[in-house]
């Protein structure tokens, strides 16, 4: 009976962890050796800290993307005002944040020295949250840097395109919030059913933990619930990527 209880508690804990798993590629990875030595409180605090850090990284990337668009708008304004491309880039680059700021600062330094600005932007783009924007800026620079007005028009078109892309991403996320909430609610219904049965005077926990049929139903139910959550998350992720 003790072994069955431990197994059931483990399965329920796994289901709860997957239901609250953050939507990031890193997930919550706990090292076995460290977890074995850490106190119980520390084992729960570590996933909470990682979840908070993951959410913070997501917010930082959103802010970086937004500031990259603002930097592009400022660059277009500086060029429209008649400033040379190198000076305009140096004036607009401090508006960016995160890795984008580092790449634009390097590009501004290359522009001041007559270096390969397009190459700096292309090499640094994968390190940022707006790689398409920086690659497009590098292409515009390579084609139009000889004339400030031509570069200004290209940068403004690039800015509008990136704003439209951000609007589409926000619209997609808003549309997918409903399916995500529905999936979480459906995944939690079995637990609600067990609590409701217990409240009506039945003994579902005893049935699930002390009988072979109950344990089989518990294992199968948790497995199907977890599979449903993972499958729904995969569908939502593919829809967002598309």
Mean pLDDT of 50-77: 77
Contact between 233 and 23 (Cβ < 8 Å): yes
Q: Using one digit for the tens of pLDDT, what is the confidence trace for 180-215?
A: 888 888 888 888 888 888 888 888 888 888 888 888
Rounded (5°) CA angle 138-140-145 = 100
Q: Using one digit for the tens of pLDDT, what is the confidence trace for 138-169?
A: 888 888 766 555 888 888 898 898 888 888 88
CA–CA separation, 30 vs 49, rounded Å? 12
Among candidates 162, 163, 148, 166, which has minimal Cα distance to 75?
148
Among candidates 84, 154, 98, which has minimal Cα distance to 131?
98
Among candidates 144, 105, 109, 151, which has minimal Cα distance to 128?
105
* Per-residue model confidence (pLDDT) at position 21: 47
Q: How many C-beta atoms lie closer than 10 Å to residue 44's C-beta?
A: 11
* Per-residue model confidence (pLDDT) at position 9: 55
Q: Provide the phi-psi class of 114: left if phi over 0, else alpha when psi is between -120 and 50, else beta.
A: left
């Amino acid at each position: 009976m003790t072994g069955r209880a431990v197994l059931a508690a483990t399965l329920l804990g796994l289901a709860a962890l997957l239901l609250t798993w953050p939507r990031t590629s890193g997930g919550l990875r706990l090292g076995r050796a460290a977890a074995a030595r850490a106190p119980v409180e520390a084992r729960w605090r570590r996933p909470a800290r990682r979840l908070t850090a993951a959410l913070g990284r997501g917010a930082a990337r959103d802010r970086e993307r937004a500031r990259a668009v603002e930097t592009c708008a400022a660059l277009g304004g500086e060029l429209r005002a008649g400033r040379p491309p190198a000076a305009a880039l140096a004036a607009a680059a401090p508006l960016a944040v995160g890795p984008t700021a580092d790449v634009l600062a390097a590009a501004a330094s290359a522009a001041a020295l007559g270096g390969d600005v397009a190459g700096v932007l292309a090499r640094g783009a994968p390190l940022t949250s707006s790689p398409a924007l920086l690659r497009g800026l590098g292409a515009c620079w390579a084609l139009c840097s000889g004339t400030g007005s031509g570069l200004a028009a290209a940068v403004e078109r690039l800015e509008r395109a990136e704003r439209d892309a951000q609007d589409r991403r926000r619209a997609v996320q808003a549309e997918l919030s409903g399916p995500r909430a529905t999936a979480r609610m459906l995944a939690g219904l079995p637990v609600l059913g067990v609590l409701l049965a217990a409240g009506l005077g039945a003994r579902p926990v005893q049935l699930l933990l002390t009988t072979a049929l109950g344990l089989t139903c518990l294992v199968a139910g948790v497995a199907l619930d977890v599979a449903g959550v993972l499958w729904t998350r995969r569908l939502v992720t593919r829809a967002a990527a598309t």
